[in-house]
Amino acid sequence: MSSSSLTCTVDEDFANRRAFKKAKSYSDVSVVGHEKEHQIVRYDMNVLGDLRVLVQPWGVGSIFQSGRIWWQIFVYVLVAAIVAAAFFFLIPDPAKIDAASAKELSTYFNMILPFLFGIYLNNMFQRWWAMRTEGIGMINNSVNNLSVILSSQCSGKQFVEAQHVMLRYGLLSHELTFRIARGTDGDLTDMLNSGALTQEENNVLKELAGGKAQAIWVWIQMLWDGLYKKGHIPSQVHLVALGHIANGRQAAKIIRTYLNTQMPFAYTHLMACLVHINLFVLALQAGIVIAKCIGKLQNRAAGQEVTDIQAEVVLITQLLYLGLIPLIYLGFLEFSNEIADPFGVDANDFPRPALHNVMHDENESFFKMAAAMPEALGEILNIPHEVSESPV
């Protein structure tokens, strides 16, 4: 993360990895297409926790970058201006307008809406977190657990290819999860060219009607069943491995369930309508109060009002309301829309390339550890010390 930026994106993460120059044993399972993605990998919480955050309001991933929010705010400001103009020109003495009723209506909406909107946002965050932990996180954990078991149970050179295939299929399930969510799983040519997928495997996947990310776990189970039938792993280890395989398949299914089952339309539609109705009421109230303030200023200029700054203070306050309140509500509404499907390429979506690299590095580390058993461990296990080279 650069000192001048709040965030570290996929691009910077790749640059940092290249700087370390850590060699990959299995280069054919490296992530593809990362140059087209710029999601946030992490951010500086120290900066976000103090006033420095206001210095960079337009940082990568900031909701302030959304043009849709700003044109909607402009609409509400325009509505307030039209209301103010109507009341100012159509009422003989706008300074005598009683805005109490409009203020009460706005206050009523602002009492109930934050509570209802808070529940809605909490539901959206829970869905997002479940997709991250029970979905992508569980796929990662399942592959990690299987790799640890495989590296310890089958650590000889004759099992290097089995380890390679195990890792490749695990990363393939991870990759297909994102591609299915994005609707780009129909063409896997780039993965075929990189070596992450064989032509035979590609032909099989192309014929599947759905569930490609889950279907990969069938091949993973076939691999473990074969190792068990050949006597390379005991039955109890085989049963544990089957449990992790089931968890991995279930994780891919959980993601599809969340993405295919949106929040109830009536509920989401009602919340969006309440937000915009509340903002229209706010614009109405602000327009009436602004007209009254301008009337007071006009009367004061004519010597009909006591000289004070009350009108100016109220006018400035209403302008701040018109800018800040819509920004808060529309900002959270926009953000809830983004995290409803976090498998895209927006800044706040899951950083697919970074997650892929972490998963790749972790599992290669397990295999390398098993291939280079320390002498102290070999003495305990009565195994002759032999430091093997890592798989290539």
Distances (CA, A) of 373 to 104, 370, 390: 74, 6, 11
Mean pLDDT over 356-379 rounds to: 87
pLDDT band at 384 (very low <50, low <70, confident <90, very high): low
Q: Which two tokens stand for residue 168?
A: 């490749």
pLDDT in tens, 141-196: 999 999 999 999 998 889 999 999 999 999 999 999 999 999 999 999 999 998 88
87 within some domain: yes
> SS3 helix, strand, coil % of the chain, rounded to 5?
75, 0, 25
332 within some domain: yes
Q: Which domain holds residue 134?
A: 63-372
Q: Where do runs of H (alpha helix) occur along 91-159?
A: 100-130, 138-153
**What is the spatial distance between Cα 321 and Cα 313, in angstroms, rounded to a whole number?**
12
Considering its fold, how many domains does the chain have in total? 1
71 within some domain: yes
pLDDT in tens, 108-126: 888 889 999 999 999 999 9
Question: Greater confidence, 148 or 56?
Answer: 148
Contact at 8 Å (CB) between 336 and 26?
A: no
The pLDDT of residue 390: 47
Q: What are phi and psi of 30, to 5 degrees?
A: -70, 155
2 within some domain: no
Contact at 8 Å (CB) between 38 and 11?
A: yes
pTM of the model: 0.87
13 within some domain: no
pLDDT in tens, 3-50: 456 788 888 887 777 666 666 667 667 888 777 888 999 888 888 888
164 within some domain: yes
1 within some domain: no
Residue 217 has pLDDT above 80, yes or no: yes
The pLDDT of residue 387: 47
48 within some domain: no
pLDDT in tens, 277-312: 999 999 999 999 999 999 988 888 777 766 678 888
